Amino acid sequence: MEELAPRAKSLIERGINPSLTVLLVGDDPASQVYVKNKVKACQRLGIRSTVARLPSGTPEPELLGKIDQLNADPTVHAVLVQLPLPKGYDEGRVVRRVDPAKDVDVFHPVNAGKLLLGDPGLEPCTPKGIIALLDGIGCAIAGKHAVVVGRSNIVGKPIALMLLRRHATVTVCHSRTPDLAAVTRQADILVAAVGRAGLITGDMVKPGAVVIDVGVNRVEGSKKLYGDVDFDSASRVAGAITPVPGGVGPMTIAMLMMNTLEAAEACST
Ligand code: NDP
C-alpha cells in the first residue's frame, strides 16, 4: 500500500485533499472493525477519512438524504456505505444512490456496466486486489483456465469479468454446480469466494495451481477467521495460495485507497 503514498502526496501538493466518507448505519461489530481498518489505511496515506455514523433505526429517506449531501460536497471524493445494512433497508437502493464518480465500492450499475463493457473506470476493490496479487507474484493470466467459485455481484461476477479481460478462460461455479471438485481440479487459477469455511480442500486443487481465498468466515465457538479454502491440505498441492487472514483482505483495503485516489484525481482533471 505504501506505493500509493506518492500519489496521495502529489494530490495534496496540488491543493486537493483526497477524502473518503464511510457511512456506518447501526453497530454491527464486524462492520465496526472493517471501518476502523479503512480509517487506519487512510491515515497511513494522508487521505482524509470521515465516518458518518447513523443509528440503526434511521429512516431510509434520511440515509438517502445524507448520501445526497455527500454527493454534492466537492470536498468529498469517495463515498462508501458499509454493508451489511441493518434489516429494513433496501440495500440496492441505498448503494445506487452514491454518485458513480464517488462510488469507490463500485456497486452502482453505471460502474458495473463500464466493467462489463471494458470501459475505463473504477474497478471493485476485492477483484482489483486479486488481479494485483496475481500480477505481484508474476502469474501470467492469459491463456490460463481460471475457475471462480461464487457468482456474487461483489466478488464472483466482477473477478470473472476481469480475468476474462486478461484473456483467461473462465469458468464460474455456484451452489448449483454439480461435481464442483471436477471443475476446480481443472483450474490453473482458482478463486474461492463462497462464504463456506474450508469448502475447497486439497483434493479439489490441481497441483501447482494458484489459489486465491477470498472467504472470511466466522465459525461458532472459535475466535479465528477461516477462509473458504482448507489451507493445510490445499497448500500441500497449490503452487501459491493466499492465507486468511492476510492475502485478499489487506489487498481489498489497499485497492479502496487506490480507488479513493483515482476518484480524487478524476475530480481534479
Ligand atoms: P455471497 O454469499 O454473496 O455469494 C456466495 C456465492 O457462493 C454464491 O454465488 C453461491 O452460489 C456460492 N456458493 C454457496 N455455496 C456454495 C457451494 N457449496 N458450492 C459452490 N458455490 C457455492 O458471498 P460474497 O461473494 O459476498 O462473499 C464470499 C466470501 O468472501 C465471504 O466469506 C465474504 O465474507 C468474503 N469476502 C471477503 C472480502 C475480502 O475483502 N477479503 C470481500 C468480500 C467478500 P449461488 O449464487 O448459487 O447462491
Residues sharing a CB contact under 8 Å with residue 87, sequence separation 6 or more, in sequence order: none
- Could you tell me which CATH number the domain at 125-249 has? 3.40.50.720
Report the pLDDT value the prediction gives residue 30, as an integer from 0 to 100.
87
CATH number of the 2-101 domain: 3.40.50.10860
Mean of all residue pLDDT scores within the chain = 96
d(CA 39, ligand 1 centre) in Å: 25
DSSP letter, residue 99 = -
* Contact yes or no for 77/49 (Cβ under 8 A): no
Q: Is the CB of 197 under 6 A from ligand 1?
A: no
CA gap 218, 197 in Å, rounded? 8
What is the domain partition of the chain in residue ranges? 2-101, 125-249
pLDDT in tens, 117-150: 999 999 999 999 999 999 999 999 999 999 999 9
248 lines ligand 1 (CB under 6 A): yes
Q: How confident is the model at residue 3 (pLDDT cuts 50, 70, 90)?
A: confident
Instruction: Encode pLDDT of 217-240 as tens digits.
Output: 999 999 899 999 999 999 999 999
Question: What's the CA-to-centroid distance between 143 and ligand 1, angstroms?
Answer: 25
Q: b/e string for 90-102 if b means 16 or more Cβ within 10 A?
A: eeeebbbbbbbbb
- The response to whether residue 215 sits with its C-beta less than 6 Å from ligand 1 reads yes
Task: Answer whether 2-101 and 125-249 agree in fold.
Answer: yes
Question: Active site residue: 66, 102, 103, 105, which one?
Answer: 105
Whether residue 103 lies in the annotated active site: no
In the chain, the N- to C-terminal Cα span, in Å, equals 24
pLDDT tens-place string over residues 14-73: 999 999 999 999 999 889 999 999 999 999 999 999 999 999 999 999 999 999 999 999
